[in-house]
Amino acid sequence: MPAVSKGDGMRGLAVFISDIRNCKSKEAEIKRINKELANIRSKFKGDKALDGYSKKKYVCKLLFIFLLGHDIDFGHMEAVNLLSSNRYTEKQIGYLFISVLVNSNSELIRLINNAIKNDLASRNPTFMGLALHCIANVGSREMAEAFAGEIPKILVAGDTMDSVKQSAALCLLRLYRTSPDLVPMGDWTSRVVHLLNDQHLGVVTAATSLITTLAQKNPEEFKTSVSLAVSRLSRIVTSASTDLQDYTYYFVPAPWLSVKLLRLLQCYPPPDPAVRGRLTECLETILNKAQEPPKSKKVQHSNAKNAVLFEAISLIIHHDSEPNLLVRACNQLGQFLQHRETNLRYLALESMCTLASSEFSHEAVKTHIETVINALKTERDVSVRQRAVDLLYAMCDRSNAQQIVAEMLNYLETADYSIREEIVLKVAILAEKYAVDYTWYVDTILNLIRIAGDYVSEEVWYRVIQIVINRDDVQGYAAKTVFEALQAPACHENLVKVGGYILGEFGNLIAGDPRSSPLIQFNLLHSKFHLCSVPTRALLLSTYIKFVNLFPEIKTTIQDVLRSDSQLKNADVELQQRAVEYLRLSTIASTDILATVLEEMPPFPERESSILAKLKKKKGPGTVTDLEEIKKERSSDMNGSAEPTSVNASAVSTPSPSADLLGLGAAPLTNSAPPPSSSGSLLVDVFSDSASAVAPLAPGSDDNFEKKYNNFQFCSRRMFIFYGNKTSTQFLNFTPTFLCLNLQTKPVDPTVDGGAQVQQVVNIECVSDFMEAPILNIQFRYGGTFQNLSVKLPITLNKFFQPTEMSSQDFFQRWKQLSNPKQEVQNIFKAKHPMDAEITKAKIIGFGSALLEEVDPNPANFVGAGIIHTKTTQIGCLLRLEPNLQAQMYRLTLRTSKEAVSQRLCELLSEQF
């Protein structure tokens, strides 16, 4: 019997817990907790050594306090001391405390590692188990350094107990996840693969998890696992439900292991014919079993059975090579679409989404369209409806686009707010992608704005304008339609924007009709003016000046409006400036000049839609939207205007009297003289940043395209190179060659005439982080001799920087996460330029990073953050620059998730100051 005092002690815990539960207010609770913390602290600090029982009790109390959401900043040392106890109970509670409360950066890790080392060497399976669990749970880099060599040995040793093997496998997996570089592949890998044949299914399950993760990065090393996994799977699938005893779960043989094995197989392409036949049999058996009557009515039975089935279907879709299986999978999912279990309907919709992209099953998926539409209308659960939207999007093609878009628009009227924006983007993309008749496209987008105007992002309405401008056949219709839509007493601001823009360009096409005469058009737009925000008003002012050109008969009316105090003396600088400039332009310019300046917009360069990128990003992590980039770029282009500029680009790039005219108040315009080839696009390029690719407007049915595009946007750049021949002799065999990076170029004409200039466009993709600038090697023959020139291209790693804004709290949290010494690079250097804070800020922003204000407690310091985008990864980067004015020195600290990147960025940035 335990001593009475101990019973009282646990009573102490009980009383403490119920005290907390009886606290009437948060303050009372905090007071009670602080009292307890003080008590425990004094007990830990006291001279008297505590017995294990008391320590356990106090540690339990601390865990309870932690669970309530209070930070625990002591007790770690006591917990570490418990690790070296010989008593199981004390050791166990010590390990528990450490797994829950010690973070991976703690300095205590060394002490903990010592204790773990002893326990691993103890040969006591219980102690080894505790130690391994602790490593798996904490998984810090220090632990990886200490144990990554040891654990594979434990894992493959012949005399290791099964339960220890299981723990060791998952432990290694965790260390590999956190520090893959510290877990080198070796002799043990082949022996790990053979664990797939182990007697103990628990060991096989753990080993399968480990192999799946390792195989993703080292497919060659583990490819023998495929045949072993198939034969293991085959044995499970064909076993009677009693064969596997304890591992049969509600009549389903080893469902968990089956799922894991099927996942492992998804790391590889379909195996060779011999193994493939056996795998196909397995998959068929699983599909057949789905048709058998259930062996139990319990939901667990159906869950376990279907978990295996869905995983099998995933594998079939992944292999995408057996039309017969694909169609069966599709039929099976079709059955689930109508199943009474919501979970199964959800999963069926999700799997079908991937199935829709396979050419073998796309048609089969389409047959379920009515069911999916019905799901959209009747499902009670928003998660399921969301899946239905996704599936409709995936199964859409030219044949059913009109129906699907109509249903989505329909659903949009009542859709949950959380998914509206996404639906809007999807509708916009589908309408564009599958538009045969562009009047349908225009109607759809206007409907979109009408139904969900608030969720229509700029990309969407920019895009409709771009398309209307590029397609002559739809312009008249668009003008008529927006004119009619604007008649509604309350219309969304986005509609005013689209309407203003389109009428400004093509209002003349409907002006013949007395119901939409110039004056009526103008009055209609102007009636909305006062309800709109500044950017929209600015756009409308541009429309007015375009009307002056289109309809000379209403010039005076417009001039009166521009001249009114509310315009000329508007408090907003942008509006005031526009009113002044436009009024002046309309007064002094001749009709010819007006016609040149205010000419119809030239067609936009045909390029991919940025809506797709937006959609992808919406589903991705919260990075800074590229909208920001667009805005920045635009404001530098066009006098700070915040909408697609309506004044024709030619006004700027033609050095004619019209440029002088604009010089009245818009001098900066002429400064931004872009390279001739892109003058048009730079000024009017509101649709994406410079990283846009040349591609058809309607991207066709390429499904990979979205993924490619999204990634492409950030990790690729475009460069224009001009080769000028200043001699009078022709260059022959002119061949520029690029070394390294992933570059796409169009070949250049092999001859360059004397005095001529040729242009080459280079699309650059950053495949991984790099140190050296790529080299351009130019060879040509000049008057009989070969010339060879090498120049470094100005492409440095920071060109792939995307700024990230974050709060002070986020910044420091991430800063701490990157505390590994190798992730940090520091440079202290003498200032080479005057130390001016504003210039420094501009340099940091120019470098590509975001400048975070009010993050560093010392206002003299500069802090920045951003992401380096490469094709394969994204590398988060944080930087801090501390100027020391007295010493004329800087200290620059870079922390990124990759050592080499920290190093390179630090070098690059240090040169700047």
Partner 1 sequence: MINAILVFNNHGKPRLVRFYQHLAEEVQQQIIRETFHLVLKRDDHICNFLECGSLFGGSDYKLIYRHYATLYFVFCVDSSESELGILDLIQVFVETLDKCFENVCELDLIFHMDKVHHILQEVVIGGMVLETNMNEIVAQVEAQSKLEKAEGGLSAAPSRAVSAVKNINLPEIPRNINIGDINIKVPNLSQFM
- Tell how far CA 830 is from the center of its chain: 38
Nearer to partner 1, 177 or 569 (CB): 177
Going edge to edge, which strands form the sheet with 757-765?
A: 716-724, 757-765, 742-745
Euclidean distance between CA atoms 542 and 529, whole angstroms: 12
Cβ neighbours, 10 Å, residue 885 = 10
Nearer to partner 1, 134 or 460 (CB): 134
Is 58 annotated to bind a ligand? Reply is yes
Q: Which two tokens stand for residue 490?
A: 């309350």
Residues 354-383 that bind partner 1 (CB under 8 A): 380-381, 383
- Tell how far CA 861 is from the center of its chain: 30
Please report, for residues 253, 295, 321, 325, the alpha-carbon distance to residue 280 in angstroms, rounded to integers and kept in the order given: 19, 24, 11, 8
Return the residue of 174, 546, 614, 898 that touches partner 1, per CB under 8 A.
174
Q: Are strands 889-896 and 824-830 parallel, antiparallel or unpaired?
A: antiparallel
Q: Does 6 bind partner 1 (CB under 8 A)?
A: yes
Nearer to partner 1, 69 or 512 (CB): 69
Instruction: Tell me which H or E stretch contains 781.
Output: strand 775-782
Residues 688-717 that bind partner 1 (CB under 8 A): none
Return the residue of 58, 247, 714, 862 that touches partner 1, per CB under 8 A.
247
Is 43 annotated to bind a ligand? Reply is yes
Per DSSP, the three-state class of 200 is: coil
CB 808, min distance to partner 1, A: 13
Q: Does 94 bind partner 1 (CB under 8 A)?
A: no
Cβ neighbors of 714 (< 8 A, separation 6 or more) are 691, 800, 802, 867, 869, 874
Return the residue of 58, 147, 249, 712 that touches partner 1, per CB under 8 A.
249
CB 463 within 8 A of CB 449: no
Per DSSP, the three-state class of 602 is: coil
CB 692, min distance to partner 1, A: 24
Residues 806-835 that bind partner 1 (CB under 8 A): 813, 816-817
Return the residue of 54, 92, 658, 716 that touches partner 1, per CB under 8 A.
92
CB 148, min distance to partner 1, A: 14
CB 722 within 8 A of CB 759: yes
Q: Does 304 bind partner 1 (CB under 8 A)?
A: yes
CA nearest to 214, candidates 195, 196, 192: 192
Is 15 annotated to bind a ligand? Reply is no
Residue in the structure block whose two tokens are 């059955």: 335
- x/- map, 53-82, partner 1, by CB under 8 A: x--x--xx--xx--xxx-x-----------
CB 304, min distance to partner 1, A: 6
CB 260 within 8 A of CB 212: yes
Residues 122-151 that bind partner 1 (CB under 8 A): 126, 132-133, 135-137, 139
| Secondary structure letter of residue 731 according to DSSP | E
CB 573 within 8 A of CB 545: no
Return the residue of 14, 436, 694, 828 that touches partner 1, per CB under 8 A.
14
- x/- map, 421-460, partner 1, by CB under 8 A: ----------------------------------------
- Residues that bind partner 1 (rule: CB under 8 A) add up to a total of 91
Nearer to partner 1, 241 or 701 (CB): 241
CB 303, min distance to partner 1, A: 5
Instruction: Tell me which H or E stretch contains 574.
Output: helix 573-588
Q: Does 475 bind partner 1 (CB under 8 A)?
A: no
Return the residue of 30, 38, 74, 103 that touches partner 1, per CB under 8 A.
103
**Binding piece for partner 1, criterion CB under 8 A, among 255-263, 587-595, 787-795, 797-805:** 255-263
Is 12 annotated to bind a ligand? Reply is yes
Is 165 annotated to bind a ligand? Reply is no
CB 99, min distance to partner 1, A: 8
Return the residue of 37, 79, 80, 93 that touches partner 1, per CB under 8 A.
93
Cβ neighbours, 10 Å, residue 744 = 13
Return the residue of 248, 653, 893, 897 that touches partner 1, per CB under 8 A.
248
Nearer to partner 1, 103 or 677 (CB): 103
Euclidean distance between CA atoms 461 and 450, whole angstroms: 12
CB 738, min distance to partner 1, A: 35
CA nearest to 437, candidates 481, 380, 477: 477
Instruction: Tell me which H or E stretch contains 451.
Output: helix 438-452
Q: Which two tokens stand for residue 91?
A: 């050791």
Residues 18-47 that bind partner 1 (CB under 8 A): 18, 21
Euclidean distance between CA atoms 830 and 259, whole angstroms: 60
**Binding piece for partner 1, criterion CB under 8 A, among 256-264, 533-541, 584-592, 647-655:** 256-264
Nearer to partner 1, 14 or 767 (CB): 14
Residue in the structure block whose two tokens are 């309800």: 531
Residues 175-214 that bind partner 1 (CB under 8 A): 177, 201-202, 205-206, 209, 212
Return the residue of 84, 343, 357, 742 that touches partner 1, per CB under 8 A.
343
**Binding piece for partner 1, criterion CB under 8 A, among 283-291, 478-486, 598-606, 613-621:** 613-621
Residues 309-328 that bind partner 1 (CB under 8 A): 310-311
Q: Which two tokens stand for residue 771?
A: 């140190």
Reported in sequence order, the residue ranges of 796-873 that DSSP labels E, i.e. its strands, are: 801-803, 824-830, 850-852, 862-869
CB 720, min distance to partner 1, A: 36
Q: Which two tokens stand for residue 722?
A: 């001009």
Return the residue of 306, 332, 516, 586 that touches partner 1, per CB under 8 A.
306
Nearer to partner 1, 308 or 373 (CB): 308
**Binding piece for partner 1, criterion CB under 8 A, among 306-314, 457-465, 502-510, 757-765:** 306-314
Nearer to partner 1, 126 or 654 (CB): 126
CB 251 within 8 A of CB 303: no
Longest dimension (CA), the chain: 108
CA nearest to 389, candidates 364, 360, 414: 414
CB 483, min distance to partner 1, A: 40
Helices vs. strands in the chain: H and E counts, helices first: 43, 14
Cβ neighbours, 10 Å, residue 877 = 27
Residues 617-676 that bind partner 1 (CB under 8 A): 619-622
Per DSSP, the three-state class of 863 is: strand
| Secondary structure letter of residue 744 according to DSSP | E
Q: Does 106 bind partner 1 (CB under 8 A)?
A: no
Which residues line the annotated binding site?
11-12, 43, 53, 57-61
